[in-house]
Amino acid sequence: MLITQQPPLTWLQRERAWVEIDRAALQHNVRQLKHWVGDRVELMAVIKADAYGHGAVTVAQSVLAAGAEWLAVATIEEGGQLREANITAPILVLGAAHTPDQIKALLHWQLQPTLCTMQQAFAFAEVLQSLGRSLPVHLNIDTGMARLGTRWTEAATWAQWVARSPVLQLSSLYSHFATADDPDPTVMQLQHQRFQVVLQQVRSHGLPLPKLHMANSAGILSDRAYHFDRVRAGLALYGLAPAPHLADRLPLRPVLSVKARITQVKAIEPGEGVSYGYRYVADRPTRVAVVGIGYADGVPRNLSNQMQVLIRGRRVRQIGSITMDQLMLDVTDLPEDLMPGEVVTLLGTDGGDQIRAEDWADQLGTISWEILCSFKHRLPRVSVN
Ligand SMILES: *Cc1c(COP(=O)(O)O)cnc(C)c1O
């Protein structure tokens, strides 16, 4: 058959393997978080790193429609991508920017930068003055994360300088917790106290306080004292609890699923090896299903021989090394009518059972944030609901 028309890009979206984004779950999580923080606190949706792998544009549209007031990204390019998609909400860039070209890009896309040092504030003021422009800025105060930001002991002086600049509009002061997912609140309380000291000093200089924010997901769920004027929700937005002891605070729903189709089913004999290196050897007559997804899609190779997946609501064991584009399952105990084309759930819900990003994170000794961010762009993001 001659193909005369170019197929649409969405043509093969669910033919091989894909990431499914449950928009209803995402909006449910936004409403839960908004209800939790109350009317007087703004919700900033943290959608850096392509919205933790969920697809930044789709997520931005959904969370804004559900009531989020602000967006946060890590880089100017991420912000530009949202503007190119006609998203008009205020956007904070969490990462550092220094160069004149970066400042011009911030102005062009109307993105609001984080300032981290006095030198950076000078550089911004100089470039803005030469362009005859001004820009709202957000000051990152390091109260104990030792990442970006001016140390809390020097922050008030710095804020005062910025507030007096004719081209920098002091929009917010913020800080970031280092240990908010730890059940022991000692460090979080200390960081909170340091932030309060800075605020006291700023007030004593006679400056009106701009907007204040401090809490990531774990901070949001830990204590209302950390909410201030605005909260910065990442992981919780995507329906995952930042720590086991915070899992019961809100009924959040996971947004992301990973699915793929069976491409072949075959029988092998006892004693036969499966996949590279024969890391699995059949101990019985075994039916093997091949699935069209691999580590090049972001399925961690270190889960080889340890992972389970769901088919028809039942748990099935993955066997042998996970390869670049494919992996194998032992489907001996599933009905004989299992055929190529059948959907396999690697992460997500099928029937009454669920495999969570936390499960993979625990198995791999990492955190669920990293699991969410690991799915490659070869997997189409498909919105449902
Ligand atoms: C990533 C990030 C967040 C969101 O963190 P979660 O733990 O995913 O909620 C908030 N604030 C800053 C500064 C961040 O870098």
Taking the CA of residue 174 as reference, the ligand 1 atom at the shortest distance is 13
Nearest CA to ligand 1 atom 13: 176
Instruction: For residue 211, indicate whether it is catalytic.
Output: no
Residue 13 — very low, low, confident or very high, per pLDDT cuts 50/70/90?
confident
Per-residue pLDDT at 5? 73
| 52 part of the active site | no
Mean per-residue pLDDT for 235-248?
A: 97
The binding-site residues of ligand 1, defined as CB within 6 angstroms of any ligand atom, are: 46, 48, 94, 176, 216-218, 232-236, 242
Taking only the tens place, the pLDDT of each residue in 82-103 is: 999 999 999 999 999 999 999 9
Q: Tell me the pLDDT band of 2, cut-offs 50, 70 and 90.
A: low
pLDDT in tens, 275-290: 999 999 999 999 999 9
Could you identify the atom of ligand 1 that is nearest to the CA of residue 232?
Answer: 10
Nearest CA to ligand 1 atom 10: 216
Residue nearest to atom 3 of ligand 1 (CA): 216
The rounded Å distance from CA 103 to ligand 1 centre is 23
Whether 380 has a pLDDT exceeding 90, the answer reads yes
* Total-model pTM: 0.95
pLDDT at 1: 56
Domains contained in the chain, CATH given: 23-238 (3.20.20.10), 256-355 (2.40.37.10)
Which pLDDT belongs to residue 12?
83
Task: Name residues whose C-beta falls within 8 Å of residue 320's C-beta, 6 or more positions apart in sequence.
Answer: 273, 274, 275, 276, 278, 279, 280, 304, 305, 327, 328
What one-character DSSP code corresponds to residue 7? P
pLDDT attached to residue 222: 97
Query: CB–CB of 281/271 below 8 Å?
Result: yes
Residue 104 DSSP SS3: helix
User: If you average pLDDT over every residue of the chain, what do you get?
Assistant: 96
In angstroms, the CA 354 to CA 346 distance is 9
Active-site pick, 174, 211, 226, 276 = 276
Q: Which amino acid is at 384?
A: V
For residues 231 and 42, what is the distance between their CA atoms, to the nearest angstrom? 6
Mean pLDDT, range 250-259, rounded to an integer:
98
Q: Which atom of ligand 1 is nearest to the CA of 74?
A: 15
